[in-house]
């Protein structure tokens, strides 16, 4: 059973059955009575919208697809504006059970598609949502461990703790034509310009452990519902394990046909019949009602911030949320190796990623990114590289693990993290194509491995710098 006694940091591997979550009232399972419209695609870096079906970009591939609506009727999960809700899924590696042709150890995410319903007239700048993704976060119901939302940062906040964070305010996500009328939308967020690489199976390896293989994503709508609990905002519920086996519509696995829309759909690999709901200022297991203006009675009745479901599929709707992640089958990130040294800010561990498995010696762009890292001035970051492969045994230095053999430093290309001193909100971006072009010793046909090195003033010398994990091999082309 899922008991409050599991609210401990060591609760990592959770029961796979949903028989012990706390049941949400029927008021939270809101019927969808308005047509679900496709809003199109918005480029989150430019704010430019593209109408459905008119994109000129290369066709991506589904790396996670949880879009099948329940075969009985459509619902969305109502939420209050001071709640964060966490769901789960799995992006497989090639070695995961089943057939996943094209799967990689890490997958660059190009598009993020969500479904939501609202009774709000479209606010200035569009619907104000926050989305966050973790490569892994203690498995189902985030292991029963509370997470600090803290939009403004901090080591445990979404902006400092998540592997990917997005605030949709200003992107013009549509709402309703006027307050009090239900409107439901599918919206695609083009995140290809952000360099987001999601580690498949948690860290690139299938462990067959819920807490190690599943990604977690958090969602929150900050717009105040115009009519309180009678007309809440929320995200569309999706997934039907009987109708569509989990993992359908992922990579080369065939899709099902949605019974309502007639469109291809899947039930997400690793989706689970439950979700963690965190209500601001309400502790796990608290018997008190959520404070205003939270949706009344949501995290109450002695359960507080906790693990919830809708009473169990198939009797009740499957408690999972509409989500589709699309990646580039041919241009995903390279493999990863080695282990990043944790920074001086707790829970701030950078991940190194690249924008492809090859880099041209003469043309194009290629960016190597390390994020999240401590922000602020005075923290130069340098990329180190080798064409000699990896050490048989990593060397544990005061900077962390060094895994490259006979490395060189790209000394003419230091990067700055940006962000704020004391917060884990920095990112290093190295122009790797320019680095490769600048070295006469690098030739077409070479295979490269790289790591990042950066100054961390939170540690005392001589350990006041850190190595990141490594990426490679990256093939050099003409």
End-of-domain residue from the set 284, 301, 327: 327
| Cα separations in angstroms, 455 against 347, 431, 466 | 17, 19, 6
Look at residues 435, 473, 439, 198 and name the one whose alpha carbon lies nearest to residue 334: 473
Look at residues 35, 86, 30 and name the one whose alpha carbon lies nearest to residue 227: 30
Number of domains in the chain: 2
Which structure tokens are listed for 250? 């992922």
Q: What is the largest CA-CA distance in the chain?
A: 68
End-of-domain residue from the set 327, 352, 384: 327
CB-based burial, 377-387: b 16+ in 10 Å, e otherwise:
eebebbbbbbb
The model's pLDDT over 160-201, given as tens digits with 9 standing for 90+, comes to 778 888 999 999 999 999 999 999 999 999 998 787 888 899
Q: Are 400 and 469 in contact (CB under 8 A)?
A: no
> 126: buried, middle or exposed (CB in 10 Å: 19+, 13-18, 0-12)?
buried
**CA R_g for the chain:** 22
Mean pLDDT score across all residues of the chain: 84
If asked whether residues 236 and 191 sit together in one domain, one would say: yes
If asked whether residues 268 and 359 sit together in one domain, one would say: no
Question: What values do phi and psi take at 397, rounded to 5?
Answer: -105, 180
pLDDT value for 203: 85
3-state secondary structure of 74: coil
If asked whether residues 275 and 360 sit together in one domain, one would say: no
pLDDT value for 383: 95
For residue 435, the enclosing domain spans 336-477
Is it the case that residue 338 has pLDDT exceeding 50?
A: yes
Residue 6: how many other CB atoms lie within 10 Å: 18
230: left (phi over 0), alpha (psi -120 to 50) or beta: alpha
If asked whether residues 359 and 457 sit together in one domain, one would say: yes
% pLDDT > 90, the chain: 48
If asked whether residues 166 and 312 sit together in one domain, one would say: yes
Is it the case that residue 7 has pLDDT exceeding 50?
A: no
Look at residues 265, 267, 294 and name the one whose alpha carbon lies nearest to residue 282: 294
pLDDT value for 159: 77
| Cα separations in angstroms, 326 against 36, 111, 183, 283 | 21, 5, 25, 35
Residue 245: how many other CB atoms lie within 10 Å: 15
Peptide bond into 462 cis (omega under 30): yes
Residue with more model confidence, 74 or 283:
74
Mean pLDDT (whole number) for 401-425: 89
If asked whether residues 285 and 155 sit together in one domain, one would say: yes
Q: Which residue has the tokens 């994990």?
A: 469
Q: How far is CA 159 from the centre of its chain?
A: 12
Which structure tokens are listed for 452? 């990042």
This prediction has a pTM of: 0.68
CB-based burial, 162-185: b 16+ in 10 Å, e otherwise:
bbbbbbbbebbbbbbeeeeebbbb
Q: How confident is the model at residue 57 (pLDDT cuts 50, 70, 90)?
A: low
Residue 411: how many other CB atoms lie within 10 Å: 10
Winning range, highest mean pLDDT, from 159-163, 237-241, 283-287: 237-241
If asked whether residues 242 and 317 sit together in one domain, one would say: yes
> Residue 342 is part of a domain; what is its CATH number?
2.60.40
pLDDT value for 53: 72
End-of-domain residue from the set 302, 327, 352: 327
Cα gap 271→30, rounded to integer Å? 20
pLDDT value for 161: 78
Q: How confident is the model at residue 18 (pLDDT cuts 50, 70, 90)?
A: very low
If asked whether residues 312 and 411 sit together in one domain, one would say: no
Q: How confident is the model at residue 59 (pLDDT cuts 50, 70, 90)?
A: low
If asked whether residues 95 and 171 sit together in one domain, one would say: yes
Q: How confident is the model at residue 224 (pLDDT cuts 50, 70, 90)?
A: confident
pLDDT value for 154: 47
The model's pLDDT over 112-144, given as tens digits with 9 standing for 90+, comes to 999 999 999 999 999 999 999 999 999 999 998
Range in 264-273, 335-344, 404-413 the model is least confident about: 335-344
If asked whether residues 373 and 467 sit together in one domain, one would say: yes
Residue with more model confidence, 279 or 273:
273
pLDDT value for 229: 65
If asked whether residues 232 and 368 sit together in one domain, one would say: no
If asked whether residues 222 and 124 sit together in one domain, one would say: yes
What is the per-residue DSSP string for 189-230? EE-GGGT-EEETHHHHS--S-HHHH-EEEEEEE-SPPTTGGG
């Amino acid at each position: 059973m899922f008991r409050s006694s599991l609210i401990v940091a060591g609760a990592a591997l959770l029961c796979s059955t949903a028989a012990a979550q706390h049941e949400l009232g029927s008021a939270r399972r809101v019927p969808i009575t308005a047509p679900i419209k496709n809003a199109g695609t918005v480029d989150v870096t430019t704010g430019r919208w593209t109408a459905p079906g008119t994109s000129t970009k290369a066709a991506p591939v589904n790396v996670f697809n949880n879009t099948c609506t329940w075969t009985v009727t459509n619902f969305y999960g109502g939420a209050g504006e001071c709640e964060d809700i966490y769901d789960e899924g799995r992006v497989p590696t090639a070695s995961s059970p089943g057939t996943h042709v094209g799967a990689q150890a890490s997958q660059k995410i190009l598009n993020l598609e969500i479904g939501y319903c609202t009774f709000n007239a479209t606010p200035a700048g569009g619907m104000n949502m926050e989305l966050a993704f973790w490569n892994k976060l203690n498995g189902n119901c985030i292991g029963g461990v509370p997470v600090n939302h803290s939009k403004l940062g901090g080591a445990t906040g979404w902006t400092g703790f998540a592997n990917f964070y997005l605030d949709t305010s200003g992107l013009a996500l549509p709402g309703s034509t006027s307050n009090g009328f239900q409107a439901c939308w599918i919206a695609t967020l083009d995140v290809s310009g952000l360099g987001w690489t999601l580690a498949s199976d948690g860290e690139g390896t299938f462990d067959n452990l819920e807490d190690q293989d599943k990604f977690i994503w958090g969602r929150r709508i900050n717009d105040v519902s115009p009519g309180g609990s009678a007309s809440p905002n929320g995200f569309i519920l999706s997934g039907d394990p009987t109708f569509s086996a989990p993992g359908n519509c992922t990579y080369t696995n065939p899709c099902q046909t949605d019974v309502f829309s007639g469109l291809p759909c899947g039930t997400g690999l690793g989706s689970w019949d439950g979700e963690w709901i965190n209500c601001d200022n309400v502790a796990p297991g608290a018997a008190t009602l959520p404070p205003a203006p939270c949706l009344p009675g949501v995290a109450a009745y002695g359960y507080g911030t906790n693990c919830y479901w809708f009473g169990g599929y198939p009797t009740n709707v499957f408690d999972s949320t509409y989500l589709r992640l699309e990646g580039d089958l041919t241009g995903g990130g390279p493999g990863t190796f080695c282990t990043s040294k944790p920074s001086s800010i707790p829970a701030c561990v950078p991940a190194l990623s690249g924008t492809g498995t090859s880099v041209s010696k003469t043309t194009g762009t290629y960016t190597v990114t390390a994020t999240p890292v401590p922000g602020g001035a005075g923290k130069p970051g340098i990329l180190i590289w080798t064409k000699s492969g990896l050490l048989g045994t990593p060397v544990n230095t005061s900077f962390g693990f060094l895994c490259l053999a006979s490395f060189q430093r790209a000394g003419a290309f230091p990067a700055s993290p940006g962000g704020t001193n004391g917060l884990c909100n920095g990112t290093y971006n190295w122009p790797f194509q320019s680095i490769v072009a600048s070295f006469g010793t690098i030739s077409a046909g070479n295979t490269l491995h790289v790591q990042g090195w950066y100054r961390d003033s939170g540690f005392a010398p001589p350990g006041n710098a850190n190595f990141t994990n490594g990426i490679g091999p990256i093939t050099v082309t003409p």
